[in-house]
A and B are shown apart, each in its own frame.
Chain A
Amino acid sequence: MLLQRFLIRLLTMLVTLFGVAVVVFVVIRIAPGDPIAMMLPPGATDADIARLRALYGLDKTIVEQFFIWLSGVVRGDFGTSISLRQDVLGLVFNRLPATLELAIVALVMAVALGGTTAILGARERGTAVEAGIDIASGAALSIPDFLWGLVLILLFGVLVPIFDISGRVSPQLDLPFVTQFYFFESLLRLRFDLTWDLLKHMLMPAVALALPLAAIISQLLKQSLKEVLDLDYVVLARVKGFSETQVILREALKNAALPTLTLVGVQFTFLIGGTVIVERLFSYEGLGNMAIDAVINRDLPLIQGIVLVFALLFVLINLTVDMMYALLNPRLRHG
């Protein structure tokens, strides 16, 4: 049952990825402007242009080009970036860790903030505390990450300048890292001086990304908790003499968390999508920032590679959440 569900999901995932590859390929090929012409110095001969077109496979039909590109992608060859003249996969892997770190830190913040306010709101239901949480989460949800980023830049970059508003790490620092996961590696190496510097750069973009998600978690989890809190087994726990906080943490939370979990998966992909502009806003050297440069430079192979990696990330997250849901939901587990 579980395996069958997994295989079906895996298959739809491949269909989705193939669809993304087709769409991005078609979109890019209708772009006006010849990338080859931009690569060559003025005065290049027609023979030069033709040679370069052949080198990038641009002299073949669009269907041929697609399958040449796709067979490369399947073998891990995403082509060569036109603007940076480097292997696309290498460039992407170099930048992806920075984006993943930012997204994971933001997710942890969102779960912590959303979870805490949900539990608090459910415990204090019907009071001014709950009303205050509702208003705060309503505002956090309606204002998108781009605007939160600008608000944070004004508050903590200019008004009270305690955090850095641009870059990933202070440039003068000597970095001992062997991976691109600077933040996680600094923790493992116990170099907390570097962790602090990285965090000072990461905190504001992470908060900007986390706030809308925290609001969704808070609203949904509070709703589920309030529903569960009226059920018999919870009432029984209360009769047994547990305090309201204990009742929520020990009895209600486990059963109320499931609907939230499903939603967090989809919302986490939205959060990762948000890194594109938030990284730009904070000049954070991640994948999204590189993607915008790639679009501006009309670097077709790089754009294709980045979009595909984002899509892969999204479908993998959805697959993981789906499987977790199936594992945790008793009805599906024994189905």
Chain B
Amino acid sequence: MDDARIIRRRLSPRLWLAGGWLLLALLAAIFAPLIAPQDPLAQDLMLERLPPFWLDGAEPGYWLGTDSLGRDLFSRLIFGGRIAFIVAFAAAIAACLVGSTLGLIAGYFGGWADRIISRIVDIWMAFPPVLFAILLVAVLGTGLSSVILAIAIIDWTRFCRVIRAEAMGQSRMDYVENARIAGYGRIGIMLREVLPNVLPSIVALLSLEMGIAVIVEAILSFVNLSISTDDPTWGGIIAEGRLSIHQAWWVLVFPLITLILTVLSFSQFGEALKARFDPVLR
């Protein structure tokens, strides 16, 4: 079909650019110990606030410069990517499983199930999300699993709201009625007929949520409430950069560029995937 080919061609560069950056960042994070030119934790006061390689006073081996404790910025960034991707995948998948399940139930079954789930979503939406996240991590105690749990506890509503609306729309379609007449059970219809049709939205949301999880982790590290170890995080580097912004701008600029590219890539990747899987567009 000509139309499909046009859509596919227009979407391709977006998918490739976004996917390419994510793959690059992910590989750098996985193989960080092999790639990092320096120990990300090694402090050297003789090397503090070295500028990036193209400026005067740069040292070879410290490509993006060093922070106020003389730690290598490039090595810290790729090691920080490890925490970012672990949080992104784990938190987004957890939020997706809880939110999509509840959304599917509320949207397809309606009635009391819908009323109770929707009321809980309303209550959740009345919390400022960042404050909720900070509060949860403070309560659960800092650490990787607390950060993941906090993000999942807060962001399941994103999946629930969208999937509920879509499942509600799908359950009014003829094919659902036909399946019922054909004698399929309600849970069977929900899983075999409705779920595949809302899957493109789930995939897009999942990718978007990974970007959001990366940001929330950065925010939590920024207020010093994330993983509590010495391991570098993108938000932690940004917090240092914000403090020494007038002496060493690069400590803020490079993690910021990394975060922006990662967040943009996750959202664009999700959009492009949705367009690919969407049965109507395809």
- Residues in chain A within 8 A of chain B (CB atoms): 12, 15-17, 19-20, 23-24, 27-28, 30-32, 139, 142-144, 146-147, 150-151, 153-154, 157-158, 269, 272-277, 280-281, 288, 291-292, 295-296, 298, 303, 306-307, 310-311, 314-315
Distance (Å) between the CB of A208 and the closest chain B CB? Answer: 13
Q: List 25 A-B contacts (CB under 8 A).
A: A12-B119, A16-B122, A19-B120, A19-B122, A23-B127, A24-B135, A27-B135, A27-B136, A30-B139, A142-B263, A142-B268, A146-B219, A150-B238, A154-B256, A269-B125, A272-B128, A274-B130, A276-B131, A288-B128, A288-B131, A295-B131, A303-B135, A307-B127, A310-B131, A314-B126
Besides A24-B135, A303-B135, 18 other CB < 8 A contacts?
Answer: A12-B119, A12-B122, A17-B126, A19-B123, A27-B135, A30-B139, A142-B211, A144-B263, A154-B245, A276-B128, A276-B134, A280-B222, A291-B131, A292-B134, A296-B225, A310-B126, A311-B126, A311-B127
Q: Is the CB of A150 within 8 A of B128?
A: no
Asked if residues A281 and B242 are in contact (CB atoms below 8 Å), the reply is yes
Q: How far is the CA of A157 from the CA of B218 in the complex (A)?
A: 21
| A310 and B260 contact, CB distance less than 8 A | no
A147 touches which one: B128, B129, B215, B242 (CB < 8 A)?
A: B215
Q: Digit string of B241-282 for contact with A (CB within 8 Å is 1, else 0)?
A: 010011001001100100110011001100000000000000
In the bound complex, CA of A310 to CA of B114 (Å): 26
Number of contacting residues on B, CB 8 A?
Answer: 40
Q: How far is the CA of A147 from the CA of B259 in the complex (A)?
A: 8
User: Which one of B128, B139, B245 contacts A273 once the chains associate, using CB atoms below 8 Å?
Assistant: B128
Asked if B223 CB lies within 8 Å of chain A CBs, one says: yes
Give every chain B residue within 8 A of A154 (Cβ-Cβ): 245, 249, 252-253, 256
A251, B233: Cα distance in complex, Å: 52
Given contacts A144-B215, A274-B130, A307-B131, contact A153 B245 (CB under 8 A): yes
Is B138 close to A, CB under 8 A? yes
By a CB distance below 8 angstroms, the chain A residues around B256 are: 147, 150-151, 154
Known contacts A151-B256, A158-B245; decide if A273 and B130 are in contact (CB<8 Å): yes
Chain A residue contacts of B130, Cβ below 8 A: 273-274, 276-277, 288
Cα distance, A269 to B125, chains bound together (Å): 9
A146 x B119 contact (CB < 8 A):
no
Decide if B141 is an interface residue (CB 8 Å cutoff).
yes
Across-interface contacts of B125 in A (CB, < 8 A): 269, 314
Q: Which of A12, A20, A142, A150 contacts B242 (CB 8 A)?
A: A150
Collect the chain A residues with CB atoms within 8 Å of residue B136's CB.
27
Contacts of B225 in A (CB 8 A): 295-296
- Give A31 to B120 CA distance when docked, in angstroms: 22
CA distance A15 to B115 in the complex (A): 13
Which of A20, A28, A144 has the most CB atoms of chain B within a 10 A radius of its CB? Answer: A144
Please determine whether A158 and B246 come into contact, CB atoms closer than 8 angstroms: yes
4 closest residue pairs by CB, A with B: A19-B123, A273-B128, A311-B126, A31-B139
CB-based nearest B residue for A310: B128
Report the minimum CB–CB distance from A286 to chain B (whole Å). 12
A303-B135, A310-B128 known; A147-B245 Cβ under 8 A: no
Q: Note all chain B residues with C-beta closer than 8 A to A24.
A: 127, 135
Flag if A147 contacts B263 (CB, 8 Å): yes
